[in-house]
């Protein structure tokens, strides 16, 4: 019986790892006005932190909620591709009350990538992620609201939500949900890692 329960739990986790988190409050409008995907709009309007090949001309924009386990999964699976691409992680406040304070802590950290890794380890251990103050500077709170509104304007239904230019086709591509490393590389038009 224990094996059956463990196997069922593993199957559920595997299925969840390849999906995304949806908003659970009123932060997402019922019928957003969808705008065309644009890396130029993201570069100009979104506020996030960069990891990977920071000087790369190829940028992958990732909207994420700090409380989303699928976003954490993508954080891990994207790591091997950071030698070839720049990833800009754009925090939003969608999932629950901890999302915005944690997003603010990540945006204002001296080393956002290190704090994100620490945060994801705490989430994976069932500890809810990093402790973050609910007192947020107005400009940081506005940046998170702008990020969330931008995500909503693209018509996204869940996070993680990626926008990038496919390196092979040159087309702007987007996707909701996490991917394993090989599938992510294929989606982005990279040769297998």
Q: Determine, yes or no, domain membership for 57.
A: yes
Per-residue model confidence as pLDDT tens digits over 55-114: 888 899 999 999 999 999 999 999 999 999 999 999 999 899 999 999 999 999 999 999
Is it the case that residue 37 has pLDDT exceeding 70? yes
Per-residue model confidence as pLDDT tens digits over 51-60: 999 888 889 9
139 vs 82: CA distance, rounded Å: 29
Is it the case that residue 133 has pLDDT exceeding 50? yes
Report residue 36's pLDDT band, with 50, 70 and 90 as the boundaries: confident
Q: Determine, yes or no, domain membership for 84.
A: yes
121 vs 45: CA distance, rounded Å: 29
Supply the CATH number for residue 101's domain: 3.40.30.10
Q: What is the pLDDT of residue 20?
A: 64
Q: Determine, yes or no, domain membership for 21.
A: yes
Write out the DSSP string of the chain.
-HHHHHHHHHHHHHHHHTS-B---STTS-SS-------HHHHHHH---EEEE-TT-S-EEEEEE-TT-HHHHHHHHHHGGGGGT-EEEEEE---SSTTHHHHHHHHHH-SSHHHHHHHHHHHHHTTS-S----S---HHHHHHHHHHHHHHHHTT--SBSEEEEE-TTT--EEEEES---HHHHHHHHTPPP-
Q: Determine, yes or no, domain membership for 193.
A: no
- Domain coverage including residue 72: 2-188
Per-residue model confidence as pLDDT tens digits over 177-192: 999 999 999 999 998 7
Q: Determine, yes or no, domain membership for 143.
A: yes
Number of neighbouring beta carbons within 10 Å of residue 118: 14
Q: Determine, yes or no, domain membership for 177.
A: yes
Domains in the chain: how many in total?
A: 1
């Amino acid at each position: 019986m224990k094996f059956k329960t463990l196997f069922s739990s593993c199957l559920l986790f595997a299925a969840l790892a390849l999906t995304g988190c949806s908003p659970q409050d009123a932060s997402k409008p019922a019928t957003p006005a969808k705008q065309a995907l644009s890396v130029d709009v993201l570069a100009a309007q979104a506020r996030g932190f960069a990891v990977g090949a920071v000087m790369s001309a190829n940028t992958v924009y990732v909207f994420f909620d700090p409380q989303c386990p699928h976003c954490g999964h993508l954080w891990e699976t994207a790591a091997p591709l950071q030698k070839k691409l720049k990833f800009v992680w754009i925090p939003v406040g969608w999932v629950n009350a901890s999302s915005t304070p944690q997003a603010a802590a990540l945006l204002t950290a001296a080393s956002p990538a290190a704090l994100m890794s620490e945060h994801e380890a705490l989430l994976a251990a069932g500890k809810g992620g990093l402790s973050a103050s609910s007192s947020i500077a107005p400009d940081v709170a506005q940046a998170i609201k702008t990020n969330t509104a931008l995500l909503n304007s693209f018509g996204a239904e869940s996070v993680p939500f990626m926008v990038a230019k496919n390196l092979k086709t040159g087309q702007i591509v987007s996707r909701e949900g996490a991917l394993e490393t090989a599938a992510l590389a294929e989606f982005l038009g990279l040769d297998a890692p």
